[in-house]
Chain A
Amino acid sequence: MGWRWFHEWGSPKWFYDRAGRWQRVCGFLALALLLVGTLWGLGFAPADYQQGNSYRIIYLHVPVAFLAQALYVAMAVCAIVLFVWKMKLADVGMQALAVVGFGFTVLALFSGSIWGKPTWGTYWVWDARLTSMLILGFLYLGLIGLRSAIQNPDQAGKACAILVLVGVVNLPIIKYSVEWWSALHQPASFKLTEKPAMPASMWVPLLINLLGYYLVAAYLVLASMRTVILDRERGSAWVREVIERD
């Protein structure tokens, strides 16, 4: 095991080709998992004894909300990699993750407010968890705005990395806000340490969908990273070859 992998990961062309293959794999797997999970969840899982069928949006809402936060952590890891090893690819990853993460946050807020209407009787309440999700969205938006404002991509990457690392302080607050204020929103449906309160026929499709959405996120991030790489390396010969080939 030498240092070869390190150089390979530093080469945009190598990553562009590899990521294309990974992207296809992620896409197909995601499609299969989501098909199974969503059909099972919407069609065959039992109805909730309190919420009836309206709870079924959980199969979209929970995975998406989960990912909106997980992608921020992934971005923080990229920021650390950028600072410690000065790896350009980490910066590309950060740029892609910010956009995808923002999309997932908006989707989580949107699906949550659709779910809120039949269960709580309102689209929006100022509950701790909803509020921190909204703040997470603003953090993502700030990152996108900061990057687009700074012309030099190296400088923009480092500035965003600082902001990501400072913003990561916000994530524990999101996670624990439910316990701090214990307001209207139900506590997390999944805990690694405890058995879920739902029957297996409800949470197994949820778990399948969660994995499926993880792969969707991976697909989107890889696709977005490849586009960013093409944009940043637009002067080089291999990009011209790729564009003429496709």
Chain B
Amino acid sequence: MSVEHRFLVRELKLVLARPGDFFKPMWFLILVISMVPLALSPDSKLLGEIGSAMIWVATLLALLLNADQLFRDDFVDGVLEQWLFFNRPLFWLVILKLFCHWLFYVVPLILVTPLAGMMLSVPNDVMIALLVTLLLATPALTCFSALGAALTLGTARSGILGVLVMLPLFVPVIILAAGVLTRASDGSDILPLLALLGAFSIAAATLLPLAVGVALRLNIGGSS
């Protein structure tokens, strides 16, 4: 078995070993969404208008729930040190790790959002646009939160710091996604903005793992 194959199998086993981490973000998302009509009003027309934006923000927060844990366990039990001795470059392992995280934690969360859309009576065509923006935007978001997690890895009580540091960098993604959603709701062409969003994600997914690798090396070796 190649290194990549074993890596993926190990990540899958880790997900299966901790089903709590798998379900918690979904639980959080549905819970937050059920608070919205209670806090605002049960008027389905109003909810339909702001619903997609609420779901976007709630999904973003749910994603950040696990972000701090991304490298924490591997760091504590010494797996990250072993990464340095693989015959693969560090950024490649980071890409694998982030891909696994995206596939096993983020995509299932996105698949739950239609349920949240029904709860807030979001129109179908907007819901489809919402799903596409989430699928296109989450690779970038995963990479940014990974960098936050990697930078704060060595701190004893990092807690929410990694999220606070990285959240400002999410802004372009959020603006583009919001643009797609407004255009989808008034029926105009969303493809140009989706292309920009995809381009941003591709750039983030190819460049940020390098930065994450440097940040991890900082914490593993003490100083490089």
The interface of chain A, by Cβ under 8 A from chain B, is 131-132, 135, 138-139, 141-143, 145-146, 149-152, 154-155, 158-159, 162-163, 165-167, 169-170, 173
Contacts and interface: CB of A to CB of B under 8 A. Distances in A.
A145 B165 contact: yes
Contacts of B158: 149
B215 A146 contact: no
A120 B167 CA distance: 29
Contacts of B168: 135, 138-139, 142, 167, 170
Contacts of B154: 150, 152, 155
Among A138, A166, A169, the one with the most B-chain Cβ atoms within 10 Å of its Cβ is A166
B211 A166 contact: yes
A165 to B, nearest CB: 7
A146 B169 contact: no
A162 B165 contact: no
A170 B171 contact: yes
B89 interface: no
Nearest to A134: B168
A173 B157 CA distance: 32
B193 to A, nearest CB: 12
Interface of B: 147, 151-152, 154-155, 157-158, 161, 164-169, 171-172, 208, 211, 214-215, 218-219, 222-224
Contacts of B224: 158
A173 B224 CA distance: 32
A159 B211 contact: no
Contact of A159 (B164, B218, B222): B218
A150 B165 CA distance: 13
The dominant DSSP class at the A interface is helix
B146 to A, nearest CB: 12
Contacts of B165: 142-143, 145-146, 163
A181 to B, nearest CB: 9
23 contacts: A138-B167, A138-B168, A141-B164, A142-B165, A142-B166, A142-B168, A145-B164, A146-B151, A146-B161, A149-B161, A152-B222, A158-B214, A159-B151, A162-B214, A162-B218, A163-B147, A163-B165, A166-B208, A167-B168, A169-B169, A170-B168, A170-B172, A173-B171
Given A146-B151, A149-B161, 17 more contacts: A132-B171, A135-B171, A142-B164, A142-B165, A146-B152, A149-B155, A149-B157, A149-B158, A152-B223, A154-B223, A158-B218, A159-B151, A162-B215, A162-B218, A163-B151, A163-B165, A167-B169
B222 A166 contact: no
Contact of B147 (A145, A154, A166, A170): A166
A135 B168 CA distance: 6
Nearest to B171: A135
A163 B212 CA distance: 10
A110 B219 CA distance: 38
Given A142-B164, A155-B218, A162 B169 contact: no
B169 A166 contact: yes
A146 to B, nearest CB: 5
Contacts of B155: 149-151
B169 A170 contact: yes
B211 A162 contact: yes
B169 A155 contact: no
Nearest to A169: B169
Nearest to B167: A138
